[in-house]
Amino acid sequence: MKRTVRHLADGREIIYFDAPGAPERTAEDTRDLPQVAAASEIRRDPLTGEWVAMAAHRQTRTYKPPADLCPLCPTKPGKPSEIPEPDYDVAVFENRFPSFARNVLGDSSTVDGAGLVPVAPGVGRCEVVCFTSDHDGSFAGLTAKQVRAVVDAWADRTAELSAMDGVEQVFPFENRGEEIGVTLHHPHGQIYGYPFVTPKTERLLEVARAYEAEHGRPVMGDVLAAERASGERVVVAGEHWTAFVPPAARWPVQVQIVPHRQVPDIPALSDAERDDFADVYLEVLRRCDGLYDRPLPYIAAWNQAPAKRDRELGWLYLEVFSVLRSKDKLKYLAGSESGMAVWINDATPEQIADRLRATR
């Protein structure tokens, strides 16, 4: 993989990931851009102990631009974009409207100085990952070779962000479809470098620690073995990865893609595991798109171990889930889910798996 680091007009980094022998990346960003002025802060809820980010500057972020003004397409004559080059394979750049940033100023304190609600600067890193230069493409439309390039880019960025001071967890993800809230239709994802370990990951670690103390084995290892032995909820099985509907699925479409070997994060994957992931994931996405005979809106979320602690408890996996419960009906997170975090699914995991396996 050929890696080239350049800078945009306002000083933000852009990193190109190309096949060996690709042209040199030398194009300059000719736009007149002000410096990014992120003013994020984080506050800890005194009732739950969870951190919440405040990023009011994101109200002005780009919202559903016309295709010919897409900021993620390659630059064209008279139409400069976030990607100065006329073409690219995979490009990653610092978000212009970040939820967390390296240059956020401020002191740690408490709300109203009362000592009850801690407040700190939202120091971290947010990046945009452009999977392809094709505006009308999709992740499911990539080749296995292109997916492997994206995996290598995720690995590179996870390793670099994990090493940054103040970054406690790295979260690569993709939002796809307007039903999910996507405002830029070019195929892309994001990477968050959080200044704390997320609530979901804290809960996963808590359960993993207790299970290993009782059984002497990782809980994900036992779940994976049980799913592979049963096969009832398995959607796609590869040499190094298995994709299955979790036995307590919350969403109307939900698939976990799990490596057979315990690794904490994407950088720890071998070449063979990265290649096999590309094949398994593409098959999962094709089946998801075939489920309702339309592109499925989804979130694809990488669950990685924290950057600096409890890494021995982590077991990397990708979770793909959708709010679409039929071709034209959404699952809304209503009273029970939103108010009490108690999920009620309109389908059983076995039904979901059957439907996905039946698609072609």
Binding-site positions read 70, 73, 135, 186
Strand locations in the chain (E): 2-7, 13-18, 41-44, 51-54, 90-94, 109-110, 118-121, 125-130, 169-176, 188-194, 234-237, 241-244, 253-259, 298-303, 317-322, 324-326, 329-330
Handedness of CA 306, 311, 317, 319 (dihedral sign): negative
Tokens of 32: 């007149």
Question: What's the CA gap between 330 and 5, in Å, rounded?
Answer: 41
Binding-site positions for Zn(2+) read 70, 73, 135, 186
Count other C-beta atoms under 10 Å from residue 359's C-beta. Answer: 14
Tokens of 310: 């409890």
Bridge partners of 128?
Answer: 93, 190
Tokens of 173: 């993800």
Of 185, 188, 240, 260, the catalytic one is: 188
Check if 188 is active-site: yes
Question: Do 304 and 336 form a contact (C-beta atoms < 8 A)?
Answer: no
Of 288, 111, 325, 308, which is closest to residue 197 (Cα–Cα)?
A: 308
Residue 255 carries which side chain, given as an amino acid letter?
V
| Cα Dmax for the chain | 64
Tokens of 291: 């489920």
Of 59, 64, 57, 126, which is closest to residue 98 (Cα–Cα)?
A: 126
Q: Which residues, including other chains, have CB under 8 Å from residue 95's CB and lie 6 or more apart?
A: 126, 127, 128, 190
Question: What's the CA gap between 331 and 207, in Å, rounded?
Answer: 27
Which residues are the active-site residues? Answer: 188
